Structure 1
Amino acid sequence: MKIFHQKNALNSFVEEERNKNRTIGLVPTMGALHKGHISLVKKALLENDSVVVSIFVNPTQFDKKDDLEKYPRNFDKDAELLKVVSDDIVVFAPTVDEIYGDNIKSETYQFDGLDKVMEGEFRTGHFDGVGTIVELLLRTVDPDKAYFGEKDFQQLQIIRKMVEIKKLPYTIIGCPIEREPHGLAMSSRNERLSPTTRDEANFIYETLKTAKTKFGTESAQEIVQWVESEYGKHPIFDLEYFEIADEATLTPILKIKNNQKYRAFIAVYADGVRLIDNLRLN
């Protein structure tokens, strides 16, 4: 397994691959890898001749310094996990200085309103940071395809919009959410939950599934009120938001329209850890 820490070394590898007419897949991560990440890597391996997995905790997408400092990091464990999957994986693990130099700052993007709702409403500047690092990684690795999990569905739509706006020649692939046995969406942040809370966090997925059964027979407002009521009864969790929105525009639903796809989005605090999830409703 090749590990690169400098962009120049990675660029040389990419150039060699291109000279051999080999296709390249990119899986951007912030490390603390789990089965969700591995599912992206396996899909990338199936669809490309060579796969680059980036491991980089991006400071510009954190709106809270405390959250950045607590984000789990274990590069050796991540590398061993990837090696089990395939010896042919290429890891790009740059330092902050290598990526940003002396200017740790986000570019400002116009995402056509996709960044103003849900996560964007509660995490100031978050999506500018996401757009910045993903654009930098895409331009550095120059992949044919890049793979992202649907757990961060709003992020996925924003990355697609960024690629469209910037006219970048890369295909963005969304991959299904991987879940723990009891339903909790896999996330690096889950490691920070107590064992008891982690077990009870299946409540998040269960409320999403119930919302799906209610969708079409009850109004969106009624479903939102039901979810808020359920979390009001559950002292372990602090509900930040629950929204039913159009998948394409992420606009909160006012009235169900035919031939449009809708998805429920949720953000919850548990043990001081922020957890997000989503589920397609129709």
Structure 2
Amino acid sequence: MNQLNPYNSTLLPPASSLMSIDTLRVATYNIHKGVRGIGPRRRLEIHNLGLAVEALDADLVFLQEVRLFHERHARQFDRTHLGWPNQGQAEFLAPEGYDVAYRTNAVTRHGEHGNALLSRWPIGDIGHHDVSDHRFEQRGLLHVPVAWNGVAVHAVVAHFGLIHASRVRQVQRLAAFIERHVPANDLLIVAGDFNDWGEKLDGPMRDIGLQRARPADERASQRLTFPSRVPVFALDRFYVRGLACRLTMVPRGSGWARMSDHLPLVAELEPV
């Protein structure tokens, strides 16, 4: 396997030179379980994804479709030059010094997958809430309080369902979860893959007090993340409370296009 270096294959700039201590840089990324392709053409991308996550240079990285283990893939890729990691993917992807939170959403025949948060800042007790809408899709919310500059920021990693009606019900369950577990005056970021092909969730999210993070001058290219080779949908998003968005960006290039079927979305946020 040829290892790519995202540092040399991306238009992603370093953290903004205008960033201050009050600016929080965040990224959300569906990593497709660290594997691309099918059958004999299946290839392991988790090592390239490790470089990619480091290149994002984010304070908080919200990850979806992350594996703790998968027996079949571990056997298949153990014979490759850069094989299946001995640790869970969240720990493997975390840059040095980052705290890691992970919880399983779905259990499958050979393994499982779920959501993760990688944090440059100290984290508190990790929570998980099942928001599955039917037995064919196992979905969950990962809740992680983060101590950022002496302020509590509640990070919720989400991966919503494939059916619009399910997503609306998951917004309602998200609202109930927030009411029970997130103090009303604390900063809140809900981020992940919302599978909202028709751009219909912004209204329901506003109704529960969450605004989509996007700067006033945002262009379409700054939010389109799927599919990674020719992105036309903005499935990956941040919804926030108590924070304003100063910019968003999506890294592009052949390296990013091959690692997952999604591109990551990066944003810089400030308290309001």
Structure 1 length as normaliser, TM-score? 0.26
The structure with the greater share of residues assigned to strand is 2
Greater relative CO, 1 or 2 (CA 8 Å, sep 6+):
2
Larger Rg: 1
The structure with the greater share of residues assigned to helix is 1
